[in-house]
Amino acid sequence: MSAAVKLPQGDTAPVIASDAEAIAVATAYAAGIAPGAADRDRSGAHPFAELAALGASGLLGIRVPRGFGGADVSHVTVAEVFRILSAADPSIGQIPQNHFVFLEALRYVASPEQQRFFFAEVLRGARFGNAQTERGTKHAKAINTRLLPQPNGDYRVSGTKFYCTGALSAQWIPVLALDEHDQLVLAYVERHAEGVAVIDDWNGIGQRATASGTVTLADVAVPRARVVPHWRLFESPQIWTPIANLPHVAIDVGIAEAAFADALDFLRHRARPWYEAGYERAVDDPLTLERVGRLAGRLHAAHALLLDAARHLDAVPAAPDEATAAQASLLVGQAKAYAGDVAVEIGNDLFAIAGASAADAAHDLDRHWRNARTHTLHDPNRWRYHRFGDYVLNGRLPPNNRAN
Amino acid sequence: MSAAAHIIASDAEAIAVATALAAEITPGADERDRRHQHPLAQLQALGRSGLLGIIIPGELGGTGASFTTLAEVLRLLAAADASFAQVPQPHYVTLLAVLLAGTPEQQAFFAAEVLAGKRFGNALSERGTRTSMDYRTTIRRDPSGSWRINGTKFYCTGSISADWVPTYALDAERRLLLAYVPRNAAGLQVLDDWQAIGQRGTASGTVTLDDVQVPDAYVVALWRALEGPQIWNAFARFLHAALDVGIAEGALHAGATFLRTRTRPWSEAGVERASDEPHILLRYGQLATELAAATALLRRAGHLLDAAWRNTDADSAARASAAVAEAKAYAAETAVTIASEIFAACGTSAADESSGLGRHWRDARTHSIHDPVRWSHHSAGYYAVHGTFPRSRGHGGAAAAR
């Protein structure tokens, strides 16, 4: 396999050694990026410098298996890292979601040589973006992009992708495509390979700095050694999909946490008491406190469901049976639906708690709702509830696929 | 009650025993509800099971089970029969009062009683006072040096079949004492006048105390334990939360069984079975998720409460109390919502008395108003905003748990 790609900041990252260190590094990193979140939201500019610092922090390598030099932290720790990052800035929190997804895919279906190469890349601080979804197909999971076999055994690929979160600043872009046998594969393409263009045309109302826009691939050369047989993941019961969904839950919990914290901060320091209430301070208004308490319960429940789902994933054996894998899917899906609802609700209720002056655009407090509303559309939560209802009522397990 | 109670060895055994007992009492729950029947035989089985002593520490001969485990036990029992499961709630609360505020002699004596299968009822609340936290019942020294108690109580869940009736009474300095009155003491009368729409089998009615005599050995100076940071009030509410989570679970499962076996599909759905209707699956998934959230909050509160019991200070007590407030409010609202919404999914035939589904809503509605949900939310919000727990909830204040 060819040489490693060039990283924006030197060519090394510290290797994080433990779960506790991962949490500490994430906490410190989050404190660094939090102050700029509102400005980044306003400008919509992609956070190149912050992402270079993320690569240099060592956090991108925490799920690399121990045999390859990583800390192989638990799913609970991954969930906590995403929650911590997303409470500071959910755009930056979402960008590594795909990275962890395609890092995880390598554990299950890559060759030992591919694992050695890419795990080393990731431990150096390289990041995976993504080019999976296509616009205008029959449904969100249908794709037209194909790998075309070449006489020398390698491939070429052409196509147009959208929702390519983070590809703009990634070092590698895993491209979802069909091979000559109509099987789903992942082609790990260098970000700056000839024929790859990443267009920053993401214009979402929220998650504005994620650069979740277009990637075009024009006859891009793909060595066979960089093609991973994605389809094999779904040949037996798997927890790759729930693992991929877990960061989405954590991102929503992080958004909810940030919105709740901002609501309390505004209430303590800026909000005036309502004159009918008869209190000197807004923080003594009993009706406000009742609402705050109600939201605190929902926020803590969302976090508890996230941790329950992550603990379940940590307990799943290497080759799970159908019921165990499906249970993981159901628990993550349930946590995702709930956390999404809570994030949207708190992003919205923040204003009822904080009062009229919180609507001043100078505070940019609406970014929480815009971020929650946008991120929770990743896949429809009504079908997460539906799946859980089908399990509770009929004992029916979700299908083994890229959504469940 | 029988003096041959089993001693439970571990938290895991407590869960196993509760699971078995829950299975045993489930079949008769609807019938007992219809007949407003206090579950005497089932309570005797509870006494023999050893579950009444699980929070007694190992050095006093008990299991030393966590509060988290106790909540699981009550949740399991409440999912089977919420009236039955509420009866031991005051037992555990007044047992913890002994562990918290009793003398070493009292702790040894009452631990032995409970480990022999004896159960505490309660005579705490009173009707007609300015608020439900005010008490008129008095306890005074008589010439012989004994105490004498006079007063009338209500909401005395389980006292009719209990062995001891712990009674709130104010001494001459208006300090709150907790007197453990033997059920058969002269002057103590328990009336079976509980006529509620739900929790019908709890016998939560009147106790009258007419110059009832008790020795020092049976009187605990509770007020002292309530002066500083403590988790006793939170513990009492935590157990109510566990009961509400259990009611929600029982309702969800009863509704699911009805849906699968009795409900016809709606004509526009184009499916053969109601349980395949997309709207029903969506709604059931939402309700099951609310239950999962309530359960997760209950466990979170349990872990914080266990930690605060091991090391009680102002911070740990406030944190645990806020978590309990969140869990209790969530559980109460979830129980009422689920118990009501299963009817929307199950359809008109579910409204027939014979379905038995009404019990779950009546139990949820009745039990969830033990104390107002709005003030649980309020106290959780107060903690989120101020970082302390309201004194009015019993933290260095005078409010006492039930």
Q: For residue B132, what pLDDT band results from cuts at 50, 70 and 90? A: confident
Q: For residue A4, what pLDDT band results from cuts at 50, 70 and 90? A: confident
Side chain identity, residue B261? T
Nearest-angstrom CA–CA distance, B150 and B140:
9
Structure token digits, residue A219: 């006859």
Q: For residue B400, what pLDDT band results from cuts at 50, 70 and 90? A: low
pLDDT at site B396: 42
Domain A19-123 has CATH 1.10.540.10: yes
Q: For residue A12, what pLDDT band results from cuts at 50, 70 and 90? A: confident
Short-list A42, A359, A18, A22, CA closest to A206: A42
Inter-chain residue contact B384 with A305, CB threshold 8 Å:
no
Q: For residue A9, what pLDDT band results from cuts at 50, 70 and 90? A: low
DSSP conformational letter for B147: E
Domain boundaries, chain A: 19-123, 146-229, 236-394
Element (H, E) at B73: helix B67-80
Short-list B122, B148, B146, CA closest to B137: B148
Instruction: Looking at the complex, report in whole angstroms how far the Cα of residue B12 sits from the nearest Cα belonging to chain A.
Output: 19
Chain A positions contacting chain B at CB under 8 Å are: 260, 264, 267-268, 283, 286, 288-294, 296-298, 300-302, 304-305, 308, 334, 337-338, 382, 384-390, 392-394
Q: Residue range A159-167: average pLDDT?
A: 96
Give Cα B283 distance to the centre of its chain.
29
| The pLDDT of residue A204 is above 60 | yes
Side chain identity, residue A332? V
Residues in chain A: 404
Contacts of B294 in chain A (CB under 8 A): 301
Q: Residue range B101-113: average pLDDT?
A: 98
Side chain identity, residue B207? V
pLDDT at site B318: 96
Inter-chain residue contact A290 with B381, CB threshold 8 Å:
yes
Contacts of A273 in chain B (CB under 8 A): none
Query: B322 CB near a chain A CB, below 8 Å?
Result: yes
Instruction: Looking at the complex, report in whole angstroms how far the Cα of residue A204 sits from the nearest Cα belonging to chain B.
Output: 28
Please give the C-alpha separations between residue A215 and each of A176, A182, A192, in angstroms, as whole numbers: 12, 22, 12
Inter-chain residue contact B296 with A389, CB threshold 8 Å:
no
- State whether residue A158 is helix, strand or coil: strand
pLDDT at site B86: 98
| The pLDDT of residue B395 is above 60 | no
Contacts of A301 in chain B (CB under 8 A): 293-294, 296-297, 326, 330
pLDDT digits 0-9 by tens, B170-202:
999 999 999 999 999 999 999 999 999 999 999
Short-list B277, B262, B215, CA closest to B357: B262
Q: Residue range B86-113: average pLDDT?
A: 98
pLDDT at site A325: 96
Structure token digits, residue B378: 């309020």
pLDDT at site B1: 45
Q: Residue range B39-51: average pLDDT?
A: 97
pLDDT digits 0-9 by tens, B324-339:
999 999 999 999 999 9
Q: Which residue has the higher pLDDT, A401 or B314?
A: B314
| The pLDDT of residue B34 is above 80 | yes
pLDDT at site B2: 47
Nearest-angstrom CA–CA distance, A187 and A225:
9
Instruction: Looking at the complex, report in whole angstroms how far the Cα of residue B253 sits from the nearest Cα belonging to chain A.
Output: 9
Contact A83, A307 (CB under 8 A): no
Nearest-angstrom CA–CA distance, A209 and A26:
19
pLDDT digits 0-9 by tens, A295-315:
999 999 999 999 999 999 999
Q: Which segments of A13-89 does DSSP mark as H helices, in order?
A: 19-33, 37-43, 48-57, 75-88
Nearest-angstrom CA–CA distance, B109 and A292:
45
Element (H, E) at A161: strand A155-161
pLDDT more than 70, % of chain B: 97
* Helix, strand, coil in percent for chain B, rounding step 5: 60, 10, 30
pLDDT digits 0-9 by tens, A126-148:
999 999 999 988 888 889 999 99
Q: Nearest chain A Cα to B259, which residue?
A: A393
The sheet that has A196-199: what strands, in order across it?
A196-199, A214-222, A155-161, A146-149, A172-178, A184-190, A227-228
The DSSP annotation for B176-215 comes to EEEEEEETT-TTEEE------SSSGGG----EEEEEEEE-
A146-229 matches A19-123 in CATH topology: no
pLDDT more than 90, % of chain A: 91
Inter-chain residue contact B381 with A334, CB threshold 8 Å:
no
Q: Residue range A215-222: average pLDDT?
A: 98
Instruction: Looking at the complex, report in whole angstroms how far the Cα of residue A337 sits from the nearest Cα belonging to chain B.
Output: 9
Inter-chain residue contact B284 with A292, CB threshold 8 Å:
no
Q: Nearest chain A Cα to B298, which residue?
A: A301
- State whether residue B389 is helix, strand or coil: coil
Q: Residue range A172-194: average pLDDT?
A: 97
pLDDT at site B84: 98
Residue with tokens 């926020």: A299
Q: How high is the mean pLDDT of chain A?
A: 95
Domain A146-229 has CATH 3.90.25.10: no
Q: Nearest chain A Cα to B278, which residue?
A: A386
Domains, chain B, ordered by start:
11-115 (1.10.540.10), 138-225 (2.40.110.10), 232-393 (1.20.140.10)
pLDDT at site B398: 46
The DSSP annotation for A332-367 comes to HHHHHHHHHHHHHHHHHHHHHHH-GGGG-GGG-THH
Contact A224, A308 (CB under 8 A): no
Short-list B1, B16, B209, CA closest to B88: B1
Side chain identity, residue A404? N
| The pLDDT of residue A359 is above 70 | yes
pLDDT digits 0-9 by tens, B284-311:
999 999 999 999 999 999 999 999 999 9
Q: Which CATH superfamily is domain A236-394 in?
A: Butyryl-CoA Dehydrogenase, subunit A, domain 3 (1.20.140.10)
Q: Which segments of A139-239 does DSSP mark as H helices, in order?
A: none
Instruction: For the full predicted model, state whether its pTM sits above 0.90.
Output: yes
Structure token digits, residue A69: 């030099």
Contacts of A390 in chain B (CB under 8 A): 281, 285
Contacts of A337 in chain B (CB under 8 A): 285, 289
Q: How high is the mean pLDDT of chain B?
A: 95
- State whether residue B164 is helix, strand or coil: strand
Query: B391 CB near a chain A CB, below 8 Å?
Result: no
Q: For residue B363, what pLDDT band results from cuts at 50, 70 and 90? A: very high
Backbone region of residue B7 per phi and psi (left: phi > 0; alpha: psi in -120 to 50; beta: other values): beta
